[in-house]
Amino acid sequence: MAEAPAGVELPGAIGRDAESRRLLARASASIAKGASSTMRVLDYHLPLVVERAEGAVVWDADGNDLIDMNMGYGPLIFGHRPRLVTDAIARELGNRGTLLGFADTVSIEVAELIKAAFPSIDLLRFTSTGTEASQTAVRLARAFTGRSKLVLFEGCYHGSTDGTFHRYHAAPADIDALAERGEVAPGTGGMNGAPRDIVLVPFNDIEALGAALAANRGNVAAVMLEPVLGNAGVIAPDPGFLAAVATMARNAGALVVFDEVITGFRIARGGAQERYGVEADLTMLSKAASGGVPLGVIGGRADVMKLMVDGVVFHGGVYSGNPLSLSAALAVQREFAANGASIYARLEASASRLADGLRSLLRGAGIPAVVSHVGAMLSLWIARDDAAPVPRSYRDVVRTMDHTRLIRLQHAAQRNGVYFHPNHFEPWYISTAHTPEIVDRVLDRLSGALREVDWRPGG
């Protein structure tokens, strides 16, 4: 979402942000829009250029300290600059350097630890990003089944590859209008008709999935989804939903692909598959798997992954399995294996403490809001009215939540020393650095921010 919603005053010279503003102007002369991801510099972002980070805190170019609830969009499960990651990278630099281009020993142990966390994975390959893992998953599914169509769920994002990148935050009416013609909206210009052969259904809607599979009988290669929807806020699967998806997809001869780029190693060591007791045929991982360095994983059943072994599906990349990334991933994976029970108990406790505190603050201020969390990921939505339920789908968020007022709250929160992303589809992420004391400080700062917000309805 690039433009500011109606009713949002675009950022002006508010507070102490002159240096961040100056640096962004300088950056814009060399870097398109000033940063290498549009989500970092949306039109309704307050100016923010970070100079250093530690634990749960970042310091900007103007000397402001902010408690970070974004955590690099999820990878930083141990916070900023955790010693286990930085020390591992330093050792690797002194041992093998920055790049090899050969098979190496560190990749073996990382793969074994990931397999131990995800029993559904027999074989895997390392990539550099989740988008690359998604691209490979699509090719594997189509090659294995000999079919073309993919069933995806509204609001889910599976990377910017041409295979899956649709306008996942499109207006529901636009989704419906295109669906009547068997189309989806491309996620960006320049896709030359891609993505093709995509069928969209609402999350948590088993009947819609059944109808889609029936209408495309014999031609669905895979049903792909985020098992906990994390790109429309944090939306949990209904009880039994994931198991039903898996059964229905397999009965239709399609593969089950879980995009656990966000949920893997975040909501449990074994991600959603461990938390909900459902196994996928193919799994995509990234983000928390390596604690903040570029790494992706595509893994799954041996018979499907054999297509790579036999060369039927090509996969390569100079930086795939980069030793610096794998050294960091090895440290992180060893920590999960040794101390996972205590790590996830602490994360769950901090997330619950924050969620309960947010509900109490907003209720006390008379602000209609919904707070949802699954493990160490959380969403705060400002609702249109007090009757808004916890969303079960992307459409529920669009219909019942007020994006404009959330942006106003985010601006006030940032000025009071708490950063969360201003887009209401982006979750908050809790790390081990978010101790009870830090969580209480977040709530204290947000208490001040709440008093500054114009709460008139937005849009």
Eight-class DSSP state of 450: H
**What average pLDDT score do residues 17-30 get?**
95
Active-site position among 60, 62, 259, 396: 259
Find the range with the poorest average confidence among 168-182, 395-409, 424-438.
168-182
- In this prediction, what percent of the chain has a pLDDT beyond 70? 97
Examine the domain organization and report whether 346 and 376 are in the same domain.
yes
Question: 397 and 248 in one domain?
Answer: no
Residue 169 pLDDT exceeds 90: yes
Asked if 241 and 107 sit in the same domain, the reply is yes
**Mean pLDDT computed over 87-96:** 94
Task: Indicate if 58 and 171 belong to the same structural domain.
Answer: no
> Is residue 70 over pLDDT 80?
yes
* Domain match, 108 and 54 both: no
Q: Which two tokens stand for residue 23?
A: 């640096």
Q: Do 234 and 345 belong together in one domain?
A: no
Confidence of residue 16 (pLDDT cuts 50, 70, 90): confident
Same domain, 238 and 276: yes
CB contact set of 161 (below 8 Å; sequence gap of 6+): 131, 132, 134, 135, 138
- The number of CA neighbours under 13 Å toward the Cβ of 458 is 24
Amino acid code (one letter) for 143: A
Find the CATH number of the domain harbouring 313. Answer: 3.40.640.10
In this structure, the answer to whether residues 317 and 344 fall within a common structural domain is no
E strands, 227-359, in order: 255-260, 282-285, 296-300
The CATH number given to whatever domain includes residue 36 is 3.90.1150.10
**Residue 128: predicted pLDDT:** 95
CA distance 60 to 414: 11
Determine contact, residues 225/259, Cβ cutoff 8 Å: yes
The residue annotated as part of the active site, out of 205, 287, 344, 396, is 287
Number of structural domains in the chain: 2
Quickly count: other Cβ atoms within 10 Å of residue 257's Cβ.
29
Residue 361 structure tokens: 């603050």
Quote the mean pLDDT of the chain. Answer: 94
Query: Which of the four pLDDT bands, split at 50, 70 and 90, describes residue 38?
Result: confident
Q: What average pLDDT does the segment 151-157 reach? A: 97
276 among known catalytic residues: no
Average pLDDT rounded to a whole number, residues 140-145: 98
Asked if residue 66 has pLDDT above 70, the reply is: yes
Residue 2 maps to a domain: no
Residue 157 is among the residues annotated as catalytic for this protein: yes
Catalytically annotated residue among 157, 168, 394, 429: 157
Q: What's the domain range around 412?
A: 18-80+340-450
Q: Given a cut of 50, is residue 9 above it in pLDDT? A: no
Question: Contact at 8 Å (CB) between 76 and 87?
Answer: no
The whole-number average pLDDT for the span 52-66 is 96
Cβ neighbours of residue 441 closer than 8 Å, sequence gap 6 or more? 67
Is residue 319's pLDDT more than 80?
A: yes
The tokens of 107 are what?
Answer: 């990749």
Confidence of residue 15 (pLDDT cuts 50, 70, 90): low
| Beta bridge pairs of residue 52 | 59
Domain assignment present for 6: no
Residue 327 maps to a domain: no
Instruction: Tell me: do 272 and 369 sit in the same domain.
Output: no
| Res 459: pLDDT | 55
CA 174 to chain centre: 24
Q: Do 137 and 276 sit in the same domain of this protein? A: yes
Instruction: Please indicate, yes or no, whether residues 120 and 261 belong to a single structural domain of this protein.
Output: yes
Residue 400 has pLDDT above 90, yes or no: yes
Report the candidate in 36, 60, 38, 58 with the shortest Cα–Cα distance to residue 47: 60
Q: Could you tell me which of 230, 254, 258 has the C-alpha nearest to residue 121?
A: 258
Would you call 287 a catalytic residue per the annotation?
yes
Whether omega before 237 lies within 30 degrees of 0, making that bond cis, reads no
Q: Which of 321, 356, 387 is the last residue of a domain?
A: 321
> Is residue 267 domain-shared with residue 158, that is, in the same domain?
yes
Question: What pLDDT is stored for residue 3 in this prediction?
Answer: 45
pLDDT category of residue 4 using cuts at 50, 70 and 90:
very low
Answer yes or no: is 431 within a domain. yes
Q: Given CA atoms 364, 367, 370, 371 in this order, what sign does their dihedral have?
A: negative
Using alpha carbons, select from 102, 185, 141 the residue that is nearest to residue 282.
141
Specify burial of residue 366 (Cβ count, 10 A radius: 0-12, 13-18, 19+): exposed
Strand-strand pairing, 296-300 and 282-285: antiparallel
